[in-house]
Chains A and B, each alone.
Chain A
Amino acid sequence: MRSWGDVMSQPHKKEKENENEKKILQNSSKVTRREALSKMTTAAIGAAAVVVVGGVAYYLSTSQAPPSPPPATTTEVTTAPMTTAAVTQTGLTAGPPIYFNIWAFHPEIVQANMKIFDQEYNENCDILQVPGDYYGSLLTKLMTGPGSRMDMMYLHGDYMTRYYKAGWIQPLNDEEHYNEIRNDYGNKNLLDVLMMPDGKQTGWVYFNGTVPIQYNGKVLQKAGLADDTGHIKSSPKTWDDFVQMCRDIVKSKVVKYAYLPKWIQCSTCGINEVFDEYCISEGELQFDKVTQEPTFENDTVMHILENMRTLIAENLADPGVLALNEQDHITTFCAGKHAFTEVHDYDLVSFNDPTQSPDAGSYHWLPAQPGSKGWYPFMGAIYCITSHEYMKRSANDAKRLERLHQFYAWKDKDGNYVAGKQWIQSPPFLGQPYTQYYDDPATKAAWLKQTYDEGDFETRKNAHLTAVVPPGYHGIVWYSNWHEDLMTTLPKMVLGQMTPQDAMKHMVDTANSLLKDFGGPEIWK
């Protein structure tokens, strides 16, 4: 039992104990939580400082020379200061990896070509596949500038125009082989697609495609419109003929809807693109090439709009297509429930693939595109490279990138067409801008193996080598805005929520308003 004395003396004892504890703690290796945190923080700051200093030192030791204009000749390039890096076969020094940003379409072909390039040129290039929203990702990377691993990319024409105007795309006029490549093009119209109003060329064609009308021979046979071989007896010469043929097919009750137009939900390849197809087949180029003013307010285009409305109003075209995406559109036509559609020509492979379509082998191109001119639209894509100046690229690296660009878009260093061969002679059989590919028996043999027949081959070859580019398509910085607006206006019009006259007025007003807002040819001076 404790006494009162014990109790009274306890605080003093405790104070002494505490002091002793403190001394012990101070002398011992134990640390308090506060001390531990302090030490950890100091260590973290130290480590961060080491990393920052190291990073800066690394950057300074590996950073390139200040940006300079791209070299005009190889001689200039080879006089660039040598680094410790290895010398490549053509006298250029090795450098950082070159990155090619691609959308998700047959990456294995791009990869195979990249492997050939790396081997031939002792290079170090890589592919960055952009899943999902390609242009969203691209815009972010382009705005980031140097360090964004953005050297080469695919672009559609309207995006190319905008990105070039922003200073992100490299003009090619001073490149080695520039004139040679241009002269080599089989379809000279394609050169329009690459040229900006300031006279600068900003890319090379990646694939030479079009969007023709294709038909299911089995359906037409049942409707009495195709011969025993499943080929159309009498191809429609005009769009009125085409609409009438759709009426006949629906009347025969072979299918519910005759036409599955590619009026799908896709801002770069939907109803707006098909509208271009209709216009070009009539020789209507929509915008004046010089003034960039709209030229489509006329009877021909009005009649196109009226026909589009008629196709839905008379139940000739399937309205369900307005909700489809690109892949579903192809799958739907594969099902054999429609007579006509238009798609990118490479999709004929899907239709004639027995694993995808019960009517495989029955799908063909119309022998000629309907319309007063019967022109096919160029609907391809472009290889572009980012601006050397914007990306602070050395002259040596600029030349390395130019070499990669020309390898994909033209020939290798030995003068052989390499990269395009992989595309045109194996699925998906993408067209190329050079006639030599079409004259190569291997191309024809490969296409015929994939159930294309002689007629389809000739029609397709002719279409590729004569396809027309809408002049207003390039050099109009606001073209995407106008084209995107069609994605709202045209569905409303075809569904009857807007008359063709109102749609026309809206389209003209929109074009004029955009021209006023963002400018015409004067912005290129």
Chain B
Amino acid sequence: MTRNSGSAKPKRGLTDSQFALFLIIPLVIFQAALSVYPGAVALWMSLQKFNPSGQVMRFYGAGNYIKAFADPEVQASTLISLEYTVTIVVVTVLLGLGVSLLLNEQFKGRSIIRVLVILPWAIPEYATALLYGNVYSQTYGTLNGLLLQLGLIPEYLPIVSIGTIWVLALAYAWHYAPLAIFFFLGSLQSVPEHLYQQARIDGASVFRRFRTVTLPYMRYALLIILVLATTDALKSLDLVWNLTQGGPNGMTRVLTYYVYRATFILGDLGYGAALSFILMLLIMLVTAVYFIVLTRRRR
């Protein structure tokens, strides 16, 4: 009698598959309550016209979506969001790569530094915003203090006014880069040492060794970081909300802030919901591109 005999049936009740399905019912209910139902409600809301009191006025069909695509503020916010995201992703990846390569070397105190490096990621985005409020402040900011002491600026400057979305992106990248370091370091440790030795024997330069030996091993870590950093940056709100509230002059008004503004400041729940779906589609599109580019087979 074989172990997994097809004829073996439980005496009563469910098969193993049915039982397994039964066990995941709570998870399905949980997921439905937290994602599917709110998502469906949001979709319904996006098809309604709301008044500023947050009440449905009438069925609006695709009106909110049409309004969004025609709204120059949405177009401007989308561009700012993309600028913000690209800056974050590039800085996060470069910083992650650089620091992980350093931390992959043998030196005294490496373990402690590896732990310390992860700390910025461990603090919430909200706390990062408060921290960088102090760094960038025009009156008491540490960055201004540092630059002044070094003689690089004649007086304290309105850093956020000058740097706008770029300085916010740098703050976010500081917060996010440790995650990249964590992933990249893990990948680097999986590269067989003999491959480097063989490459050296073949006379490969440092750059070539990185490109042909290291990078292939880091491809999936890179994909994960690109996807995570992109989606998280596109969804980010705390930093902008705390530091600039979309200003000055709308120059840091990312799409998430625009969604927040439509929903909570203006009470236009329908437009806010429609913008959220557009943001979600944007995130899905960018993520799909990453997957296609980074997981395609080499020919």
Contacts and interface: CB of A to CB of B under 8 A. Distances in A.
A143 interface: yes
A235 interface: no
A163 B53 contact: yes
B276 to A, nearest CB: 14
Contacts of B142: none
A197 to B, nearest CB: 14
Interface stretch (A214-222, A325-333, A382-390): A325-333
B75 interface: no
The SS class assigned to the A binding surface is helix
Interface in B124-160: 126, 133, 137-140, 157-158, 160
A37 B26 CA distance: 14
A285 interface: no
Contact of B139 (A18, A331, A488, A518): A331
A518 B51 contact: yes
Given A266-B245, A322-B249, A41 B265 contact: no
Q: Pick from B16, B133, B158, B247 the residue with the most CB of A within 10 Å.
A: B247
Given A41-B22, A133-B241, A133-B264, A166 B54 contact: yes
B23 A492 contact: no
Interface in B229-261: 241, 243-250, 260-261
Interface stretch (A76-84, A170-178, A454-462, A475-483): A475-483
Q: Pick from B22, B53, B54 the residue with the most CB of A within 10 Å.
A: B53
B161 interface: yes
B52 interface: yes
Interface residues of B, number: 38
Interface string B171-198: 0000000000000000000000000000
Interface in A15-52: 15, 18, 34, 37-38, 41
B53 A135 contact: no
The SS class assigned to the B binding surface is loop
Given A15-B1, A328-B137, A491-B250, A480 B245 contact: no
Contacts of B120: none
A53 interface: no
Nearest to B160: A323
A265 interface: yes
A37 B247 contact: no
A127 B249 CA distance: 36
Contacts of A334: 139
Contacts of B289: none
A325 B140 contact: no
B71 interface: no
A139 B267 contact: yes
A249 to B, nearest CB: 18
B266 interface: yes
A323 B267 CA distance: 25
Given A162-B54, A331-B139, 5 more contacts: A34-B16, A139-B267, A323-B248, A331-B137, A481-B266
28 contacts: A34-B16, A37-B23, A38-B13, A135-B264, A135-B265, A163-B53, A165-B51, A165-B53, A265-B245, A265-B248, A320-B138, A322-B247, A323-B138, A323-B244, A325-B244, A325-B245, A328-B133, A328-B137, A328-B139, A331-B140, A332-B139, A335-B139, A477-B52, A487-B247, A488-B250, A495-B249, A497-B249, A518-B52
Interface of A: 15, 18, 34, 37-38, 41, 132-133, 135-136, 139, 143, 162-163, 165-166, 265-267, 319-320, 322-325, 328, 331-332, 334-335, 477-478, 480-481, 484, 487-488, 491-492, 495, 497, 518
